Amino acid sequence: MKKTASRIAEGQPFPLGATWNGHGVNFALFSAHATKVELCIFDSSGRREIERIVLPEYTDEVWHVFVYDLRPGAIYGYRVHGPYEPEAGHRFNPHKLLLDPYAKAHVGALRWHPAVFGYTLKHEARDLSFDTRDSAPYVPRCRVVDQTFSWHHPLRERVARERMIVYETHVRGYTIRHPEVPPEQRGTFAGLAHPAVVDGIRHLGVTSVELMPVHMFLNDSHLLERGLTNYWGYNTIGFFAPDPRYSVGAHASIDEFKLMVDRFHESGLEVLLDVVYNHTAEGSELGPTLSFRGIDNASYYRLLPDTPRYHINDTGTGNTLNLSHPRVLQMVTDSLRYWVVEMGVDGFRFDLATILGREPEGFDEGGGFLDSCRQDPILSSVKLIAEPWDCGPGGYQVGGFPPGWAEWNDCFRDTVRTWWKGDEGKAPDLATRLCASGDRFNRRGRRPWASVNFVTAHDGFTLHDLVSYNDRHNEANGEDNRDGHADNHSWNCGAEGPTDDPEIRALRERQKRNLLATLLLAQGTPMIVAGDEFGRTQQGNNNAYCQDNAISWIDWEGIDDAGRELAAFVRRLTILRHALPVLRRNRFLTGEHNDLLDVTDVTWLSPAGIALTPEQWGDVNMRCFGMLIDGRSQTSGIMRLASDATMLIVFNAYHDVVEFTLPSVPGNDQWSCLIDTNVPVRDELPEFEAGDTYQVTGRSLLLFALHARGATQRVFERLEENLTAGPEEI
């Protein structure tokens, strides 16, 4: 192995990472406290180190060198020298081979071995000493890449935020059992790009596919010891590198990811990434030294001010990324821009996003990261969705993010679940959630789309399990069923788990339709979890983060008639949402009267068809009411035919039939029933007169559209015609 190199130049401190320019590769690595940095270059197998180069220049806390004749495909890592002073927050150890935080591709996998730790553990956790074992045989490396790619659809039309329907899925779990995907492509980006998969997603009527983490992540040692893996991937170690486990070719993950994005864009679908910038896979101060810890622990992580030996753990995973440091903030924003500009994605969902808004004094909506996103010409133009909570003090921030952000709304989730479960006193709260939770989001010019409504997510019960289990059943996780949420606001409809009882099965199917219809007819941005549209089950497991098996995978060939009927029902709901702007307004419904148009945007009705009184709102036993949305109240400029549709949604969580009187609206007298969750399939749209009563089945939802007597049903007939169209054509 060479100790020096005569083919080097000082290089540049920018851009950070490894950058090929056609003549060689520039390497640049930030470290504020290192005393020396060595670049280790390996042979094509990645096993044998063939050259070690001391980075000769240090500019603005960036170490850098240019290596001539080095090309894409070169495999490398770093060894960083500096003080090993845990009590001061410094954990440098040149015996540990480190990953470049800006690496665009990784090679190999981590093998858990004592040598990957920067310390030697003797008898007690506090009895630690500097470890001199070489970690190179056990850790992954980085690979220099060439970003050349021929996009077929480099320019795409972004989906308007108010038109979004998000579809959350997992790269591997979605296609690993898909019968139309070639076996070698299943579970990969190439599998997601298969025409049968793309067409199926598009036909469902969603607009934006949100992929669970695809950044390079690690499997926790405690999971591997139990024969499990980190299936979800919320354990990132490389913020620029797609995980090679999701690619067919050993070194093709970048091109395969881009091809997938290209195919989705060709079909009018957006690609969103679920990203984890709140922590890294290095864990607490007792975790391994793989990258950030060995490069500059005191800069990359938040440490306890009085005892910097220890990490602040606002994430619950052992460490918290320090976005108050300008170089760490730069790394995160550089990563986001890279995925937008180079990889073509359309937006991000941020795991534990409150962390990203934290400064030393706590969450601050004017914090460095949030301000950076608002002013950045690239990041401010894409979809930014926050999971607005973390484990730290003041961590719950639903509605607390600044303009431009959308947020997961767990208030919607819990209220909708408890309403359809039959809990008392939920009607007023449900009314608020149906109007995009204006109590939390209607401020500073934010729009209804800021509320990302969901009933289920990857974390928790699937929709089928939500109506089939009262309790979690996580025994397969190996934690004695102690993990996962204990209170899920679920109801098994009379039997725990699978049952042959036809009445319970019918009720469960209706409850699924109720929950999905509430989600897709409410104001705000709906999010559906892949598989919920046909009743996927996880056998009662509400924390399947470690289940890379049939518990988590979608069983395409196992979809039964009930599942196909449910998927058709979801398709009808998405068609309605796309075709009727009144269901996806860009202004909050407030119940205020518009004097100019002489209409009220939303009116809440009792089963008698008249406005609810304060006394009725205060009745904790009220379980049936109507939501009348007057489409004329949103008219502005040139009005399209469907823009002024007036809709009535009836929510009946009572266990028995309720007679509901259809209201009279001035100038109109005829209603068409578009949806009845008790009758999911109809050959024609039944019509009713104002003043007629409708027998609303117990635990069911209805959607009516108002139109003038004698008017054609062209608008509503077109809904049926659109069953073969994509959302962008409606």
Return the active site residues.
351, 387
Taking every pair of Cα atoms in the chain, the longest distance, rounded to a whole number of angstroms, is: 91
How is residue 227 annotated by DSSP?
T
* Bridge partners, residue 341, by sequence: none
List b or e across 118-138, with b for residues whose CB sees 16 or more CB atoms inside 10 angstroms.
bbeeeeeeeebeebebebbeb
> Any idea what the Cα angle at residue 582 is, between residues 398 and 613, rounded to 5°?
75
* Bridge partners, residue 646, by sequence: 706
Q: What are the helix and strand counts (H, E) for the chain?
A: 16, 36
The residue count of the chain comes to 730
CA distance 646 to 622: 24
Nearest to 164 by CA among 55, 270, 9: 270
Q: What secondary structure does DSSP assign to 98-124, as a single string?
A: B--TT-S-EES-----GGGSSEEE-SS
Asked if 417 and 485 count as a contact pair (C-beta separation under 8 A), the reply is no
Burial of 505 (0-12, 13-18, 19+ CB in 10 A): middle
Asked if 574 and 206 count as a contact pair (C-beta separation under 8 A), the reply is yes
List b or e across 383-392, with b for residues whose CB sees 16 or more CB atoms inside 10 angstroms.
bbbbbbbbeb
Catalogue the E-assigned strands of 470-583.
525-529
CA distance 94 to 457: 42
List b or e across 267-294, with b for residues whose CB sees 16 or more CB atoms inside 10 angstroms.
ebbbbbbbbbbbbbbbbebebbbbbbbb
CA distance 456 to 636: 35
385: CB partners within 8 A, 6+ apart: 166, 272, 347, 348, 349, 350, 405, 406, 407, 408, 452
670-676/624-629 β-pairing: unpaired
270-275/208-211 β-pairing: parallel
The alpha-helical segments, DSSP class H, found in 399-538 are 410-421, 427-434, 438-441, 463-466, 502-521
The packing angle between helices 561-579 and 502-521, to 10°, is: 20
Residue whose entry in the numeric block shows the structure tokens 């098996």: 549
Pull the structure tokens for residue 504: 């319970």
Label residue 359 left, alpha or beta by phi (over 0 means left) and psi (-120 to 50 means alpha): beta
Pull the structure tokens for residue 202: 């598009």
Burial of 721 (0-12, 13-18, 19+ CB in 10 A): exposed
What are the φ and ψ backbone dihedral angles of 390, each rounded to 5 degrees?
-150, -170
> Any idea what the Cα angle at residue 710 is, between residues 707 and 713, rounded to 5°?
55
Pull the structure tokens for residue 155: 């320019």
Q: What secondary structure does DSSP assign to 571-586, as a single string?
A: HHHHHHHHH-GGGG-S
Distances (CA, A) of 220 to 263, 294, 460, 487, 654: 33, 19, 21, 27, 46
Intra-chain end-to-end CA distance of the chain, in Å: 64
Signed CA dihedral, 251, 255, 258, 259: sign only: negative
What are the φ and ψ backbone dihedral angles of 259, each rounded to 5 degrees?
-60, -40
Asked if 143 and 74 count as a contact pair (C-beta separation under 8 A), the reply is yes
236-242/270-275 β-pairing: unpaired
